[in-house]
Structure 1
Amino acid sequence: MLGSGLSNQVGASVAALAFPVIGPAGVVAVRQWVAAGVLWAAGRPRLRSFTAAQWRPVLGLALVFATMNLSLYTAIDRIGLGLAVTLEFLGPLAVALAGSRRRTDALCALAAAAAVVVLARPSPSTDYLGIGLALLAAVCWGCYILLNRTVGRHLPGLQGSAAAAAVSGVLYVPVGALALWQNPPTPVALGCALAAGLLSSAVPFLADLLALRRVPADLFGVFMSVNPVFAAVVGLVVLDQHLAPAAWAAVLVIVGANTVSLTTASAPATAKKGSG
């Protein structure tokens, strides 16, 4: 789990090193192609056997893939890694809190909302477009979770995710071709983009599979809450991006809200299981 989280954020920071040369769109295109190759090899989808009912959520997931990564990487380029990933993390937090009637979850939602206000507080240097793109990535991540569940019910194994990644990779062929034609890549920039694809797609995918065989899903979800902290630390070390003390506090509040929500939600189920 530690390797998955760190690899994902280091991959994003390495991707940011290529932004000045080929831009976020060029980097995302390369990352999508790498992800498509990795997931296709792992899932080996039988596309000809897909029905219309199976294709609909797959195509929705492909659009989410394409939009989520481009909006996130563009946000990273504008507002920094730590802030962008923290705002993006509101997506899975919203999914976890949606529909809950527990007072604890309501308090967690209020705490997260207050932290977002702190992160987006008006100032002469506030980049509202960057914040908006990070929040769009959050919406996409929430949709990704919901669509992934639907795809998992309609298709066996990893076929649905692999097909969605492949479609997303095809969608990025013209985008990537245009971006790389307008901004010819240097060997270093292209290497950074390829490394980002491996570190943010292949390594986390394999690491998560191995981790979920050994730890409960609720513990895995709680641990993934530290990704915004990883992003802020990696952004500081690799990209020299400094967060203000108030921003650090807001990051920790959002991480804490997710952790409290997940741990308190799993505790009653665990207790009930033990009493039976």
Structure 2
Amino acid sequence: MLLPLLALVAGMVSIQVGAALAKSLFPVVGASGVTALRVGISALILVAAWRPWRRHLALADARAIVLYGCALGAMNLLFYQSLRTIPLGIAVAIEFVGPLSVALFSSRRPGDFAWIGLSVIGLGLLLPLHDEAAIDPLGAACALAAGVCWALYIVFGQRAGQAHGGQAVSLGMAVAALLAAPFGIVEEGVKLLEPQALLTGLIVAVMSSALPYSLEMYGLRRLPRQVFGVTMSLEPAVAALAALAVLGERLSLLQSVAIGCVIAASAGITLGSRRHVPAADA
């Protein structure tokens, strides 16, 4: 189980650094434009790498991949819309309601709920409820909707990945690109073809989509759903660190405590799962 977990962590680091870079591109092509570039370029890279046309798709597999791709495209569109008005770390914390819900409803052991509770405490501390400045309601709503799509991405991604693995990622990303492209074209038009936008979009696509989604698919196919979901509780912590490094957003003491909570929860659920695996396999 160690290698799939390392793949998830590497994917999270890549995706959050890419998200911070993408936010810096908003003044050039807007949130929808960034989404279209990220998902579109990622689709081209993944399709070229996996060449999914070499394998025949059954109708049931095709349906699963379409659902996976739609969840992926909607998740990206909504998440970047939320970043227009709320900070990266806050957006990821709210969005995390998706995988946390998957972990909660997939759990069968009492001990898992204690670790999930700790991760909830950490996520609550990441929210600026102690500050006078209120969170933008529309941005929060977009992040919450992105969380719902994230949960669907996990569920549909497991179904699609069990059948076709990397081919499912490439085809799903192509579906996501078809969903996201019209929004970017309507918002920014030919600006998406400017050299600066294309170059930055390529970097963001590799770091935020092509690489991490392939790593996540590797983890999805090899980890129990609840382990995957709660391990992803590292995401707000990684996002906060990426925002510090790329955007200059400094961490408060309370945010550091929150990061410690989600890391402890992730470690606890992972260690508990490893102890449970031999009995399940016997």
Structure 2 match to 1:158: 166
Is the Cα contact below 8 Å between 2:237 and 2:262 reproduced in 1? Answer: no
Moved more, 109-118 or 6-15: 109-118
Counterpart-to-counterpart distance in 1, 2:115 and 2:207:
31
Shift of 1:47: 9.0
Structure 2 match to 1:137: 146
* Deviation string, structure 1 residues 156-193 (Cα, Å, up to 9, x no partner): 34333322211221223322221222866754344322
* Deviation string, structure 1 residues 90-124 (Cα, Å, up to 9, x no partner): 43333233242433222233333344444162743
Structure 1 match to 2:181: 173
Change (3 A) 1:184 1:54: closer
Counterpart-to-counterpart distance in 2, 1:217 and 1:135:
25
Is the Cα contact below 8 Å between 2:240 and 2:251 reproduced in 1? Answer: yes
Pick the aligned partner of 1:111 from 118, 121, 127: 118
Query: Does residue 16 of structure 1 match 2:43?
Result: no
1:207-218 equivalences under 5 Å are 217=223
Is the Cα contact below 8 Å between 1:86 and 1:254 reproduced in 2? Answer: no
* Deviation string, structure 1 residues 45-82 (Cα, Å, up to 9, x no partner): 23994343233222211210111111222223322222
Structure 1 match to 2:3: none
Q: TM-score, normalised by structure 1?
A: 0.81
Counterpart-to-counterpart distance in 1, 2:256 and 2:272:
24
Counterpart-to-counterpart distance in 1, 2:216 and 2:129:
35
Query: Does residue 69 of structure 1 match 2:76?
Result: yes
Is the Cα contact below 8 Å between 1:225 and 1:259 reproduced in 2? Answer: no
1:241-260 equivalences under 5 Å are 241-260=249-268
Change (3 A) 1:109 1:223: closer
Q: TM-score, normalised by structure 2?
A: 0.79
Counterpart-to-counterpart distance in 1, 2:41 and 2:90:
25
Is the Cα contact below 8 Å between 1:22 and 1:185 reproduced in 2? Answer: no
* Deviation string, structure 1 residues 203-241 (Cα, Å, up to 9, x no partner): 3356668x87xxx858x9587653432221120121112
Change (3 A) 1:227 1:193: same
Aligned residues: 268
Counterpart-to-counterpart distance in 2, 1:109 and 1:206:
26
Counterpart-to-counterpart distance in 1, 2:83 and 2:266:
22
Query: Does residue 229 of structure 1 match 2:252?
Result: no
Counterpart-to-counterpart distance in 2, 1:48 and 1:63:
21
Q: Secondary structure at the match of 2:164?
A: coil
Report the residue type matching 2:84 in the other structure: D
Is the Cα contact below 8 Å between 1:34 and 1:201 reproduced in 2? Answer: no
> Gaps (5+ residues) in structure 1?
none
Is the Cα contact below 8 Å between 1:72 and 1:133 reproduced in 2? Answer: yes
Q: Secondary structure at the match of 1:241?
A: coil
Percentage of identical aligned residues: 32
Counterpart-to-counterpart distance in 1, 2:96 and 2:108:
21
Structure 2 match to 1:149: 158
> Gaps (5+ residues) in structure 2?
1-5
Is the Cα contact below 8 Å between 1:11 and 1:199 reproduced in 2? Answer: yes
Aligned CA RMSD, in angstroms, stands at 3.2
Shift of 1:3: 4.8
Change (3 A) 1:95 1:196: same
Shift of 1:35: 1.7
Report the residue type matching 1:258 in the other structure: S
